[in-house]
Amino acid sequence: MIIRARAPLRISFAGGGTDVDPYPAEHGGCVLSCTIDRYSYCTVVVREQDAINVQSLDYDIVASYGSGEQRDSDGKLGLVEAALKVLEVSGGMDIFLHSDVFPGAGLGASSSMTVALVGALAYWKRLRLNDYDAAELAYRIERDEAAIKGGRQDQYAATFGGFNFIEFFGDHTVVNPLRIGHDTLNELQYRLMLCYTGRCRLSAGIIQDQVERYLRKEEETVRALDRTKKLAGEIKNALLVGKIDDVGVLLQEGWLAKKSFSNKVTDPHIDELYEAAMGSGALGGKLLGAGGGGYLLFLCQFDRRHLVAEELERRGGKVTHFSFDLHGLQTWEVNR
């Protein structure tokens, strides 16, 4: 038996950070995001021998676990080991993992991979999981068992797929799919641009700094989190009525708020790329993920998009094209 699963990566427009505890438990958080045609993949090949073999193409790692063998989840395969433990997986199988982007890109790759793992292993175990079950299980594996710091938005985005306004409360999460008109979707995709900054980042330190500032009730950080939460609703409303230019302006405001979360969010190189894009015809943009590197997202004037791309490339950025994904987690069985 061969089982395959894929889960899409995401771009977030606003609200990131308000999904990280303890903010949502105390104030309620919300994030506006959509998934794109970049994926994490998990393949499970069922074997008769009593061993689990794991191969990660992203980290170029191969590991093998015998029956009942103690696993150490501190390494780069910690997510896999946490998933095997939480899902109580035993028996013979080969697990192959790879993603369309490198870890630390700011597109939610680690959560997407966890969701793909959940999809494939749950299929093998014949578990009947709805989308909420799968997303929450992925969250438990990544945040609780593997102890990777972060919020809840990525697991839900990768599982549900499409455009969603996701609300986070102390004890539950609500996913509100958005019915955005086809003309608006096409125009938005035409005018959005992804640019790799040239470096990846480790988000845990940035998130920890944000949480510590929030726990100290630093006014700048609390005010910024409140503002980005409100911006998620404002961008949602702009998209639903097709006001694309307003989305760009609100992205710019969100970027200013995000930089107040922590002084580790940006650096001179990122600021240089951002200002170059704004000076060439971008209406607004933001750094995706927690910060420190990865991808910048811009919304451009339609007749200056090529100028923005040229200027970013000239300054060391790498512009990449993408499309929206509206399907979320998909799992299937392969006929040999």
- pLDDT tens column, 295-312: 999 999 999 999 999 999
- What does the mean pLDDT of the chain come to? 91
Q: Residues 154-169: what's their mean pLDDT? A: 97
Q: Residues 163-189: what's their mean pLDDT? A: 95
What pLDDT is attached to residue 74?
Answer: 46
What pLDDT is attached to residue 202?
Answer: 61
pLDDT digits (tens, 9 = 90+) for 178-190: 999 999 999 999 9
**Residue 245: which region, alpha, beta or left (left: phi > 0; alpha: psi -120 to 50)?**
alpha
Strand partners, 44: 3, 95
Which domains, from first to last, does the chain contain? 2-179+325-334 (3.30.230.10), 182-322 (3.30.70.890)
Q: Residues 315-330: what's their mean pLDDT? A: 95
Strand partners, 240: none
**Residue 104: which region, alpha, beta or left (left: phi > 0; alpha: psi -120 to 50)?**
left
37, 100, 133, 154: which one is catalytic?
A: 154
Q: Residues 41-65: what's their mean pLDDT? A: 87
User: To the nearest whole percent, how much of the chain has pLDDT over 70?
Assistant: 96
Of residues 62 and 10, which shows the higher confidence score? Answer: 10
Task: Please confirm, yes or no, whether 154 is among the known catalytic residues.
Answer: yes
Q: Residues 158-182: what's their mean pLDDT? A: 96
Pick the range with the lowest mean pLDDT from 196-205, 311-320, 325-334: 196-205
User: Whole-angstrom Cα distance, residue 98 to residue 229?
Assistant: 33
Does the pLDDT at position 314 exceed 90?
A: yes
Q: Is the dihedral of CA 197, 198, 201, 206 positive or negative?
A: negative
Does the pLDDT at position 49 exceed 60?
A: yes
Q: 3-class secondary structure for the chain?
A: CEEEEEEEEEEEEECCCCCCCCHHHHHCEEEEEEEEEEEEEEEEEECCCCEEEEEECCCCEEEEEECCCCCCCCCCCHHHHHHHHHCCCCCCEEEEEEECCCCCCCCCHHHHHHHHHHHHHHHHHCCCCCHHHHHHHHHHHHHHHCCCCCCCHHHHHHHHCCEEEEEECCCCEEEEECCCCHHHHHHHHHHEEEEECCCCCCHHHHHHHHHHHHHCCCHHHHHHHHHHHHHHHHHHHHHHCCCHHHHHHHHHHHHHHHCCCCCCCCCHHHHHHHHHHHHHCEEEEEECCCCCCCEEEEEECCCCHHHHHHHHHHCCCEEECCCEECCCCEEEEECC
Of residues 274 and 49, which shows the higher confidence score? Answer: 274
pLDDT digits (tens, 9 = 90+) for 246-274: 999 999 999 999 888 888 888 899 999 99
What pLDDT is attached to residue 270?
Answer: 93
pLDDT digits (tens, 9 = 90+) for 98-131: 999 987 788 999 999 999 999 999 999 999 999 9
Quote the pTM value.
0.93
Assigned token pair, 240: 């639903």
Q: Residues 204-230: what's their mean pLDDT? A: 90
Task: Judge if the upstream peptide bond of residue 22 is cis by omega within 30 degrees of 0.
Answer: yes
Of residues 316 and 60, which shows the higher confidence score? Answer: 316
Assigned token pair, 17: 């950070």
Residue 176 and residue 166 in contact, taking contact as beta carbons nearer than 8 Å? yes
pLDDT digits (tens, 9 = 90+) for 61-93: 888 877 555 455 446 788 899 999 999 988 789
What pLDDT is attached to residue 67?
Answer: 54
Q: Residues 207-211: what's their mean pLDDT? A: 87
